Structure formats: structure tokens, C-alpha cells
Amino acid sequence: MDNMKILITGSAGFIGFFLASKLSSLGHTVTGIDNINDYYDVELKYARLKQAGIDKNKIAYGTKVKSSILPVYTFIKLDLLDREKILSLFAEEQFDFVCNLAAQAGVRYSLENPYAYVDSNITGFLNILEACRTHPVKHLVYASSSSVYGTNEKIPFAINDMVNHPISLYAATKRSNELMAYTYSHLYNIPVTGLRFFTVYGPWGRPDMAYFKFTNAICNNKPIEVFNNGDMSRDFTYIDDIVEGITAAINTLPQNYALHNLGNNQPERLLDFIQVLEKNLGRKAEKKYLGMQDGDVPITFADINDTKTALNWEPKTSIADGLKFFTDWFLQYNESV
């Protein structure tokens, strides 16, 4: 895959920011789009863009902004719901590859604002699929989620497990994406790969994620909310490993449709995870124990045997190293804002 034209949606987001920087550094011509919504602090999104050489003052809806440090990277503020502009962009650029990371994230928020999830995750994704149909691409890679496994009791979660019982609307929209993508791949011969991400963490991450909220609370001497009385385990996956997995997926063309887990393959108990944060920050957390939240599951655990074989990929970052990278960044970032 040499010097390809690649579209990344959600490029002001956590994963999108890192992927855009990675693919640009490899010499590909990258276009990133994002609507920069206010689900969480937009200043963090603008700070990510600044790291990629995108000047906040030049950003206007529908306007191309060239990176000052990555000559092959261009950013456009654009909403996936803007069907005409999305189609025009595809017609103009004739992308080789598309990586759809844009989505309304967050399990609990989907209980409060369901329409945002249907708009962004279903209608927005449909617009990307239609654009790939009318302006054919070599490969569409899109983000799914470990949440599609719902209340599965079989551990670890494997790609061929049944996923017919999502317990949040967010999970339901991600499962819908998988079905929509399969249908378009089958009907229109579009090579498509779906990636089920497992709890991605690291520097520049999302403030609504537990590890970020815990760190912020500990640093500000506030209690942290520990759900299910701490009896939770998550397959935390470091951002660099996720980006390597996405890059491997982009480079691996399926015959028609493929689906892979991207996880660390090693769940961490939530209380052990908190202990690592406490050690890194040199402070003890005041814990407020609560029951299980609606939409939550007690454990996530990725079976990545198929992914290792198909993509020649496996995670390399330990939880100790990954959380150290994150807390070092967090302390530095908060000193600068």
C-alpha cells in the first residue's frame, strides 16, 4: 500500500487523531473529517488537531485546512449527516481507502440521548456506505465495538459468537453497522473490514472513559465512582496497538467482508487498574462503590486468535506501561491548559 489516498472520519477524535498522524507519516495522502461535536470538551479535540498541524483559526465548515507539519494531511470540518457534501468529497477526491471511525460514543449517554446515536452511527454510516458504492473504493474499514457481545457468558469473546442481545442502544447501533456493512459488501462487491475495539486507552484519550475520569478525580482529591462494587474486568487496549491493528487491517484486503477483534486479550480487574493509577499519581483514590449501571457488562475479553492469523497483529503494550504513558501525558497536558 504505497502513497494511497485515504479518508479518515472522526479524525479529531482519540483514535482518528493517532491514525491520521500514523498514515500521514507513512506518506499516504490523508483527508480527515470530523464535525467536532460537544459530547466532550471540544478544546481537547482542537488540541489534538493542533498536534497534527491543523490551525484552529483556519477551521470553517466545509473548508480544507492543510497541516503545517504533515504536508500530506488535510482536515475538513464536516458532518457525516451532510450527505451532499460527503458525496461531493468522494467524487472530488476518489479515495482509495476509507476508515470510518466517526461515531457517537459512550454507552451510558446512549440512554439519555438515543437520537444522537441513530443519527451519527446509523444514518451517518449509511452515507459513508452510499458514498463508497457510488464512488468505489479499494477497501472500507470501520469501527465496531466489543459492546456488541452484550451479555455473552462465554469467555473470551470470539468473532463467531452470537451477538443478538445488545444491552445498550450504542451497542445496538454498532451491531447495526456490522449488518449494514455486510449487506453493502455483498450487494456491491465492496471489500469491507469491521474492527471490534476493546476499551481503547492512552494519551489524548476521551474524558468520558473511566480511566480518564478516575485520573482526573484522583488528581483533584475527589471520590471515584466504582461500579458493580469493583467486580468488573476490562480488556484495556493501548492506543498504539489499536492503530497498528487498524493499519494492518487497511493493508489486508478481504475477499469481500471480514470482521476482527482488536483487544489486549488480557482483562484487568478494575480495582487492580485503579491501583496502577494510584501508584503512577502517588495518591490514593477515595472510592465510592455503586451497583451495576444500565448498559454495562461485568467483563470484556477479546479472543484474538483469528486476528493474529489474518492480520499478523497482536498487542504489545502492558497495562503498566500504557497507564504510565497516559498519566505522564495527563499531568503534562493539564499543566498546559
| Residues noted as catalytic | 170
The answer to whether the Cα torsion of 281, 296, 300, 7 is positive or negative is negative
Cell readout for 171 is 451497542
Q: How buried is 294 (Cβ within 10 angstroms: 0-12 exposed, 13-18 middle, 19+ buried)?
A: exposed
Q: Which set of grid coordinates corresponds to residue 265?
A: 486479550
C-alpha cell at 208: 468520558
Q: Where are the alpha helices (DSSP H) in 161-300?
A: 169-188, 210-219, 239-251, 270-281
How many whole angstroms separate alpha carbon 8 and alpha carbon 29?
11
Q: What distance in Å separates the CA atoms of residue 45 and residue 7, rounded to the nearest whole number? A: 18
Of 90, 93, 24, 95, the residue nearest 53 (C-alpha): 24
Residue written as cell 504510565?
324
| 281: its cell numbers | 499519581
**Residue 21, H or E segment:** helix 14-25
C-alpha span between 192 and 255 (Å, rounded): 9
Rounding to the nearest 10 degrees, give the CA dihedral for residues 202, 204, 207, 211: 20
